[in-house]
Amino acid sequence: MSEVTQATEGRRIYIDKQTPQSYRAMRDAAETIRGAATDAGLERSLVELVNLRVSQINACAYCLHTHTRAALHAGEDPQRLGVLPAWRDTELFTPRERAALALAEATTTPADTAAADEAYAGAREVLTDDEISAVIWVAITINAFNRVSIMSKHPVRAPRGQ
């Protein structure tokens, strides 16, 4: 068995617990960014759609679990959450939401510069400068949290009693 295989078979280090001061700094930054998103006029449900879409792209089970609950708590419709991966193929999302989702995807996959340019141009048509900045910061932040959870292999457990 290789060293890499042996290392990945054991329990991962929860880097948020191993280096709590770094994680606290990330949480503090996220709180500041949530405030900026609110100040820019982004509804909590839109912020959670961005968090979910980015977490879907990154396949972060822990963040998907966390932000699905947060989106539902913010009043998001389960039907919209169910079709979020295919948001472009539905009429369930407003032009503003579509612009935010495209911008979040472009922030998550920046190597596709043509898509990023297109998403940014579309966002300029329906979002204010403050909203564009807030959406990009929200996407950057959830991308960072996705990496923490993915690399730590944070578990998603069934609710108690199930």
Among 38, 102, 109, 110, residue whose Cα is nearest residue 74: 38
Contacts (Cβ under 8 Å, ≥6 apart) of 18: none
pLDDT at 143 over 60: yes
Query: Average pLDDT for residues 25-41, to the nearest whole number?
Result: 98
pLDDT for 126 beyond 70: yes
- Is the residue at 6 inside a domain? no
Identify whether 2 is part of a domain: no
9 has a pLDDT exceeding 60: no
The CATH number of the domain holding residue 76 is 1.20.1290.10
Confidence of residue 6 (pLDDT cuts 50, 70, 90): very low
68's CB contacts (< 8 A; 6+ apart) are 52, 81
Is residue 12, in this structure, part of any structural domain at all?
Answer: no
| pLDDT for 146 | 97
In a domain, 9, yes or no: no
Q: Please count the structural domains in the chain.
A: 1
Is 10 inside any structural domain?
Answer: no
Tell me what pLDDT residue 2 has. 44
User: pTM of the predicted model, to two decimals?
Assistant: 0.91
- Per-residue confidence band for 1, with pLDDT thresholds at 50, 70 and 90: very low
| 82-98 tens-digit pLDDT | 999 999 999 999 999 99
Is there a domain that residue 37 lies in?
yes
Q: What percent of the chain has pLDDT over 70?
A: 93
Query: Is residue 84 situated within a structural domain?
Result: yes
State the residue range of the domain holding 125: 17-152
State how far the Cα of 156 lies from the Cα of 62, in Å rounded to an integer: 6
